[in-house]
Amino acid sequence: MNRRITGAALAGLLLVTGWGTGCSPEAPRPHSASATPRTPAAKPAGTHADAQAATAAAYRKWGLKPLAPPPAPPSTKPASGKTADGEVPVISEIPTDQKIVFLTFDDGAEKDPEFVKMMRELKIPFAMFLTDSAIRTDYGYFKKLQELGDSVQNHTLTHPNLRTLSAAAQRQEICGQQEKLKKEYGSAPRLLRPPYGNWNKDTRAAAASCGIEAIVLWRESMQIKNMQFQDPHKKLHPGDIILAHFRGPSELKGRTMTQMTANLLRHVREQGFTIARLEDYL
Contact 99, 61 (CB under 8 A): no
Contact 150, 119 (CB under 8 A): yes
The predicted pLDDT at position 44 comes to 54
The predicted pLDDT at position 274 comes to 98
Rounded Cα gap, residues 147 and 91, in angstroms: 26
The predicted pLDDT at position 34 comes to 37
The predicted pLDDT at position 19 comes to 37
The predicted pLDDT at position 52 comes to 85
Please name which of 46, 41, 15, 19 lies closest in space to residue 29, comparing C-alpha atoms.
41
The predicted pLDDT at position 200 comes to 97
The predicted pLDDT at position 261 comes to 97
The predicted pLDDT at position 46 comes to 63
Q: What single DSSP character describes residue 64?
A: B
Contact 95, 79 (CB under 8 A): yes
Q: What are the b/e assignments for 84-97, b being 16+ CB within 10 Å? A: eeeebbbbbbbebe
Which parts of the chain register pLDDT below 70?
1-46
Please name which of 79, 27, 34, 99 lies closest in space to residue 57, comparing C-alpha atoms.
27
Backbone angles phi and psi of 220, in degrees to 5:
-130, 155
